[in-house]
Amino acid sequence: MLKVLIALVFLAMLISLSLSAGFLLKDPGSSTRVLTSLKVRVSLACLLLSLLVYGFMSGHLG
């Protein structure tokens, strides 16, 4: 179950990254969607790191 959750969070990070690239290329300079996407991606990265630490400390991962 933990491995599936880690994979889903990683996939969400990749989707956020691709959306951010699209926003960067198409939006005008005054748009805040790139910044919002960055905030989401950083939050997902923190969640992913927390899940990995939990998995290794509890013995669920290698």
pLDDT digits (tens, 9 = 90+) for 32-53: 899 999 999 999 999 999 999 9
CA distance to 4, 8, 54, 55, per residue, from 58 (Å): 16, 20, 6, 5
pLDDT, averaged across the chain: 94
**Quick one: what percent of the chain has pLDDT higher than 90?**
82
Domain ranges of the chain: 3-58
Q: Is the pLDDT of residue 61 over 90?
A: yes
CB atoms within 10 A of CB 31: 12
pTM, entire model: 0.88
HEC profile of the chain: CHHHHHHHHHHHHHHHHHHHHHHHHHCCCCCCHHHHHHHHHHHHHHHHHHHHHHHHHHCCCC
